[in-house]
Amino acid sequence: MSSSNPFGSLPELRRDAMGTTVRVPELRNIALTPRVEAILDHPAFQRLRRVRMLGPTHLVYPGAVHTRFEHSLGVYGCTRWFLQSLGRIPELASSLSEVDLLSVLAAGLLHDIGHYPFAHSLEALHLKGEDTPRHEEVGGRIIMGEFEALRGERSIAEILSSQWGVEPERVIALCTGNLGARPSQIDQLLHSIISGTIDADKMDYLERDSHHIGVPYGRTYDRERLLANLTLNADETRLAIAAKGKVPAEMFVFSRYTMFSEVYWHHTVRAASAMVENAIAAFHSRAQIDPDDFLGYLLRFDDEELLSWLFEHSPDPSAPRFLLGGLQTTRRRLYKRVATFSRIYAERDKQRAYETIYQMERAQLFDLTARLSARLGSAVGVPLHPAALIIDIPPRDKDRIDSIDVVYPRARGKRFYPLHQLSQVVNGIQDDFIAVVKKIRIFAEPSLAAQLRDLKGVEDLLLTEILKS
């Protein structure tokens, strides 16, 4: 530990920093130092210019073509803000070393270095009995220079060691949250700046996605007041919010909720994402391709190149071709809703249908989709293509919104209260997120959906078949 205060002397944190800046939306200048530029110029980081932030969302919101490169710069900038705010806490300013600060700044910059096209859709799949590598894991391998095509003249790990003076393994741990069996108090705190209820990653993507998509939802909180009230929890292992920041914290959580409700899980966005996910799953079910080779393609291609490659390597009339044909910008034909289920529907059968589907493994879901397709094919009088119907289940890893402590000063010491216990707004959001936003939808190919709209009793037919499961 350093007894001096590096917050004021570290070039990356100086508020009056001079030199190179890069401008990113919205009206933000990111100050760059030579060691930051060394990472930005690395081929592994430049690759992020070709990876869209929101996958197929641009087919619904045309402005959603921003990239992981832009977002990574933004998260680095937000990490600077977090640290500059925390630097006003005397006990923290004296306990963090320059190496600590540089490690978390590097983690903010590199947290998405392993992202590849449609990563979130791919990570939701179980391919050939194994999970697709998570982008955080891939990021660690990229940093260590394991992929020759992305290594450049030297690995990012070498840049971190030689120019930043930090341990690459520590930076990777701060990115992934894999801090070891006995993580230090400081590393837990630094990781919470990158990943927590209120963190630099969310602060950037809420604002950035809102800006590019053209909606206000991710920008409806008071950022300056929130940053000004950052503090530490009782054991000083995570960020907390001082009492004066309670309302901005509520607004931040609500902003994320509305972005999921109105953008990320908008029904048409979910249709496009489900088409991608099912196309890739169908491709893997028949393709004999080594997982490492497939990962190599993912790291080589941009979004459109990956879809084109999958299309070209799938026979006609296979499921991948059937699905991907509707995702081409020259022939946009996104699937349409034919049924929606949520936990709040009053009808008991609909609630049971939701829980039945939500608990299904992929093989069970495949069987149910086949049975529903057969029943609907009989109803419309023609056999359906195996990929004409999709059941979309939102990711199961977002069943709870984490809370954050609110700190109240007291004459005999501080008091700490979880935000969701103080706020009916936040408490309600947690329940509403699961019960309302996480809908299960059945999508159909557009011409089939049009036929089903003209038929009576389609919903009852679907419910009957689902509840047989």
Kindly report, residue by residue over 75-131, the tens digit of the pLDDT.
999 999 999 999 999 989 889 999 999 999 999 999 999 999 998 877 766 544 445
Beta-bridge mates of residue 379: none
The two structure tokens encoding residue 196: 């927590």
What pLDDT is stored for residue 37 in this prediction?
96
CATH number of 11-266: 1.10.3210.10
SS (H, E, C) the chain: CCCCCCCCCCHHHCCCCCCCEEEECCCEEEECCHHHHHHHCCHHHHHHHHCECCHHHHHCCCCCCCEHHHHHHHHHHHHHHHHHHHCCCHHHHHHCCHHHHHHHHHHHHHCCCCCCCCHHHHHCCEECCEECCCHHHHHHHHHCCCCHHHCCCCCHHHHHHHHHCCCHHHHHHHHHCCCCCCCCHHHHHHHHHHCCCCCHHHHHHHHHHHHHHCCCHHHCCCHHHHHHCEEECCCCCCEEEEHHHHHHHHHHHHHHHHHHHHHHCCHHHHHHHHHHHHHHHHHHHHCCCCHHHHHHHHHHCCHHHHHHHHHHCCCCCCHHHHHHHHHCCCCCCCCEEEEEECCCCCCHHHHHHHHHHHCCCHHHHHHHHHHHHHHHHHHHCCCCCCCCEEEECCCHHHCCCCCCEEEECCCCCCEEEEHHHHCHHHHHHHHHHHHHHCCEEEEECHHHHHHHHCCCCHHHHHHHHHCCC
What pLDDT is stored for residue 19 in this prediction?
73
What spatial distance separates the first Cα and last Cα of the chain, rounded to whole Å? 59
Query: What tens digit of pLDDT does each residue of 232-283 get?
Result: 999 999 999 999 999 999 999 999 999 999 999 999 999 999 999 999 888 9
Closest alpha carbon to 263 in 63, 115, 442: 63
CATH 1.10.3210.10 boundaries in the chain: 11-266
What pLDDT is stored for residue 354 in this prediction?
93
Tell me the HSE value of 85 on the side-chain side, using a 13 A CA sphere.
24
Residues in CB range of 239: below 8 A, 6 or more apart: 82, 189, 192, 193, 196, 198, 199, 230, 231, 232, 233, 404
pTM: 0.93
**Per-residue pLDDT for the chain (469 aa), expressed as one digit of tens each?**
344 678 888 999 987 766 789 999 987 899 999 999 999 999 999 999 999 999 999 999 999 999 999 999 999 999 999 999 999 999 898 899 999 999 999 999 999 999 999 988 777 665 444 456 788 899 999 999 999 999 999 999 999 999 999 999 999 999 999 999 999 999 999 999 999 999 999 999 999 999 999 999 999 999 999 999 999 999 999 999 999 999 999 999 999 999 999 999 999 999 999 999 999 888 988 877 888 888 999 999 999 999 999 999 999 889 999 999 988 767 789 999 999 998 888 889 999 999 999 999 888 999 999 999 999 999 999 999 999 999 999 877 666 667 899 999 986 789 999 999 999 989 898 888 888 888 999 999 999 999 998 888 898 999 999 998 8
What pLDDT is stored for residue 399 in this prediction?
64
